[in-house]
Structure formats: structure tokens, C-alpha cells
Amino acid sequence: MNEDAVVKVALVSCGSEYAGVHGELTSVAESVNAKLVYPEIEIDILDDIGKDFGIEAASPDLCLMMARAKAVVEGLSDVDGVFITSCFRCAEAAIVRNEIRRYINKHSDLPVISYSFTERTTAATLLTRMEALTTIARRRHLLAREKQSGLTAGIDSGSTTTKAVIMRDNEIIGSGWVPTIKVIDSATEAFNQALEEAGVKQEDIQAIGTTGYGRFLIGKHFGAKLIQEEITVNSKGAVYLADTQKGHATVIDIGGMDNKAISVDDGIPGMFTMGGICAGASGRFLDMTAKRLGVDITELGALAVKGMEQNVDMNSYCIVFGIQSLVNSLAKGSTPEDVAAAACHSVVEQIFEQQLQEVDVKEPLILVGGSSLIEGVPKALGELLKINVLVPPNSHLIGAVGSALLASGYVEE
């Protein structure tokens, strides 16, 4: 597919036009040069779709969703990706939405995103997801890249920290990691750290890739050849660092502000989910826990592996209540080790409850992002899912590595 071509995204939805979010969906699609299309169906199919698909839903619009999903899978509708969406808090729709997502993923190689909206959902909320969906359709050739070549840089401007790497001929030769304060200043500092360690000058760099929340700003500032959302970049970086580029993998990225769970096939994301109900499920909660315990964030993991989460009743569903539980536990005499373990468990439990239901977890499970360095987090995740959790080397630099790797596609071009 041509990079400038309009990406056709099948909208498989229930209620979006009545919830007042339709304008936002259209707007976000247009912003990434995509067009929402409604898969055409024969009206008669609706009479039997419940039995054909297997879910006899009471809501006719959900039957319509199943019929449209079938039209997509059977190739009756020519589309490049699928956006499945329904109302937040509707149990019936959640069941259908989830099964449609699995059905399309099983029977086609189309990228799929699933999202439950409220009337407050905005185009900005959906931008990263829609950008990722169109990238997978539009830049599949780039995402198939398995080796870095030339001298490239990747900068990941995250909500909490900014990371930079310099790569040469498939090796990381320099890295930088600083807290994000002023977006451009922090990126410059991280980039300079990486350049210094690598012993190269900025003008020698053949291509720069940027990702993260500040990707557009820093991308423009540094003249990046690749400005890319973090879902595709991080999944690419994860399978590259974990050396699992072929076959299935699941990537979990616990970020400072939100989390991503991505189901990857041959290095290309298939299904993914992003977000969380509250910051209680993100790295921010671990950061606040460390501060309350009076330890550096880098020491929290070692503390957590010595503790027993069962000894502390903690629910970080909301970051405010989570901190309240933490304070109460300490006041009752809980040890810092147990509190640290409970905080790690609480974060991964929320990821399990809120996000891992939206993707199919297939081994290897690769945990990345700054939180993966807190030993208590992979331990808690492994215990919860009863599988081995793989934390690749440089897992905190995932976005920067993915950007440098993908940017090298522009060196040869």
C-alpha cells in the first residue's frame, strides 16, 4: 500500500451515532488520512446471524456488528483495518465486541482495535490507536524490518521519562534516559547523553525516529524521518530486544501514564489495547509508592521481591484510593516490603483485569517500559498469569530502540 493512500477502516459499531461520538471517530480517521467505511450486508442475513455467528444478541445493532464482521472476513468489504466500538458499560456489547475482535483476528490478517466509548470520548483520545491501525496497514513493509542498519537515533518522549538511543549496524552504541520536564529540553538532554556515549555527532546520524507523547514536537525539532506512535514502535522494539521476531508474542508496556497490551505476530501488532481506567494501573502509582516509602524508584523492585502482597489489602483502582490504602497499611504496621509487593501486585492485577481481556495472551509475554525494571512487577505478573515473563535487556529503552530500528528503513530509501 502506498504511504499516501487513504486507509479504509471498517467501522463495526453499536450506538456510536447516538452517543454523540461519531463526529470524533470521523475526525480522528481524517487526521490520519483514513476513511471510515460501513461494510455492506444483505438485510436477510440479520435474521440468522445470531445462530450463524453463535451469539444470539438481543440488540439488533449488535447483530448488525456480527454481520458486518462476517462481511469483512469473507472479503465482501474491501478494507485495510477494523475499528470495533460500542458503548462503555454495556455488558451485552462487551461480549459481542470481544468475540468479534477474536473472530476477525482468527480469520483475517487485518489489524483490529476495539474500544468502548462514552459521550466524553474525543478524537485526541483515539489518535494513537487510530494512528497505529493505519500504520500497520500502510507501513507493513517497514514493520517487517528485523535488523537495524546504518547510524540511526531513536527518541522516545514519554509522559514521565525521555529516552534516546544511538544504533549502528544492529547494535546499541549509546543511550540516554532523563525525566521529562520540558519536552524539547529533555529530549535534547537524553539525545546528547546518547551521542556522547556513542562518540558520534548529531550531524553524523543518518535518520532519526521519534515516538511517545512528545513525538510530533521533537520530531519536528530534530527533523525526524519517522514520527510514529508508540504501539507499533514499542511492539517492534520489544520483539527485537527479546529476539522473538518470528511467531506470536504478547507485549505489555507499563508506562508512566498509560499501559499498552499488544498481541504481535511476526513482529507486527494484530490486536492491541491502550489505557486504563486510572493512573492507579500505571507506573505513576509505583513512583508515588516509592516516594511514600522514602526509597528511590530504582530500589522499589528489590524491596517488593522481599515482601508478601497478601499481607496488605491494597486496591489501586484509583490512584488516590490506592495511596490511601498504602498510608493505612503503613499506619497499621505493615512492612515497606509488603507494601511495595502489594503495590506491584495491584498494578499488574489491574492490567490483567482491564487490558489483558482485550488481547489474546500468547507466550512469550514480553514486559517492557520503565516499570519492567522494578523486579516486583514482572514477578507479580508471572504469578498472576502463571507464565514466565520475559524482560529483555534495555527494556526501558524500548520505544527509542524501536524508533531507531524503524528509522533505519529510511536510510536505505
Partner 1 sequence: MAKVIIYPTNSLILSDLVQRFGHTPLAMMEKIKEKVTTVGVDSPPMNITAEEPKHGLKYAAVEVPAGVRGRMAIVGPMIEEAEAGIIVGESPMAFGCMGCARTNELTKYLIRSREMPLLELEFPKDDDEGQEFVYRIAEFLKSLDEVKGESEEATE
The contact set with partner 1 (CB under 8 A) reads: 14-23, 26, 43, 46-47, 57-61, 63-64, 86-90, 92-93, 117-120
Q: Which three cell numbers stand for residue 147?
A: 535488523
- Smallest distance from partner 1 to CB 58, Å: 4
Q: Give the nearer residue to partner 1 in terms of CB position, either 59 or 311.
A: 59
- Smallest distance from partner 1 to CB 322, Å: 22
- Smallest distance from partner 1 to CB 314, Å: 25
Q: Give the nearer residue to partner 1 in terms of CB position, either 69 or 303.
A: 69
- Smallest distance from partner 1 to CB 129, Å: 18
Q: Which three cell numbers stand for residue 209?
A: 525516529
Q: Give the nearer residue to partner 1 in terms of CB position, either 26 or 324.
A: 26
Question: Do 100 and 11 form a contact (C-beta atoms < 8 A)?
Answer: no
Closest CA to 16 of 46, 2, 33, 36: 36
Helix (H) or strand (E) holding 30: helix 22-31
Q: Give the nearer residue to partner 1 in terms of CB position, either 36 or 264.
A: 36
Question: What's the sign of the alpha-carbon dihedral 335, 337, 343, 345?
Answer: negative
Q: Give the nearer residue to partner 1 in terms of CB position, either 50 or 382.
A: 50
- Smallest distance from partner 1 to CB 280, Å: 20
Backbone angles phi, psi at 20, to 5 degrees: 80, 15
- Residues near 354 by beta carbon (within 8 Å), at least 6 away in sequence: 276, 277, 281
Instruction: Return d(Cα 311, Cα 329) in angstroms, integer.
Output: 9
Pairing between strand 226-227 and 161-168? unpaired
Instruction: Return d(Cα 32, Cα 384) in angstroms, integer.
Output: 37
Q: Give the nearer residue to partner 1 in terms of CB position, either 119 or 185.
A: 119
- Smallest distance from partner 1 to CB 111, Å: 25
- Smallest distance from partner 1 to CB 221, Å: 34
- Smallest distance from partner 1 to CB 380, Å: 31
Integer angstrom CA distances of residue 53 from 62, 106, 314: 11, 14, 41
Q: Give the nearer residue to partner 1 in terms of CB position, either 119 or 204.
A: 119
Pairing between strand 226-227 and 248-254? unpaired
Instruction: Return d(Cα 48, Cα 44) in angstroms, integer.
Output: 8
Question: Do 19 and 117 form a contact (C-beta atoms < 8 A)?
Answer: yes
Amino acid at 103: Y
Q: Give the nearer residue to partner 1 in terms of CB position, either 33 or 118.
A: 118
Q: Which three cell numbers stand for residue 309?
A: 502482597
